[in-house]
Amino acid sequence: MLFVLILPYLGVLVYLIVRGGKMPERAIQHAQAQQEALRGYVREAAGGPPPSTADQLAKLADLRDRGVINAAEFDREKAKLLSSA
């Protein structure tokens, strides 16, 4: 009866003494791995990384060159992009 009651507590105490110091490090590594997996999933679901400011400016310039937007609209959108970057 003594082993049934004391042995589990003794086992936990020995485990915490031997391996307990590394528990926060393992928890941090596990959390970082989960965060990276979540970021990868979000990137995949969103269709990849967002376009850079240079890419967006190139698209605006292409629209202006094709005549879809005029120079004033181009300048206004360019100012918005540059102010948010």
Which tens digit of pLDDT belongs to each residue from 48-80? 666 788 889 999 999 999 988 999 999 999 999
Q: What single-letter amino acid sits at 50?
A: P
| Per-residue confidence (pLDDT) for residue 41, from 0 to 100 | 81
Structure tokens given for 62: 């292409």
The closest alpha carbon to 37, from 29, 52, 22, belongs to 29
> If you average pLDDT over every residue of the chain, what do you get?
86
Q: Is 7 or 76 the better-scoring residue by pLDDT?
A: 76
Task: For residues 25 and 46, give the distance between their C-alpha atoms in angstroms, rounded to a whole number.
Answer: 31
CA 18 to chain centre: 34
Question: To the nearest whole percent, how much of the chain has pLDDT over 70?
Answer: 95
Task: For residues 31 and 73, give the distance between their C-alpha atoms in angstroms, rounded to a whole number.
Answer: 46
> What pTM, to 2 d.p., does this model score?
0.42
Q: What single-letter amino acid sits at 34?
A: Q
| Per-residue confidence (pLDDT) for residue 45, from 0 to 100 | 80
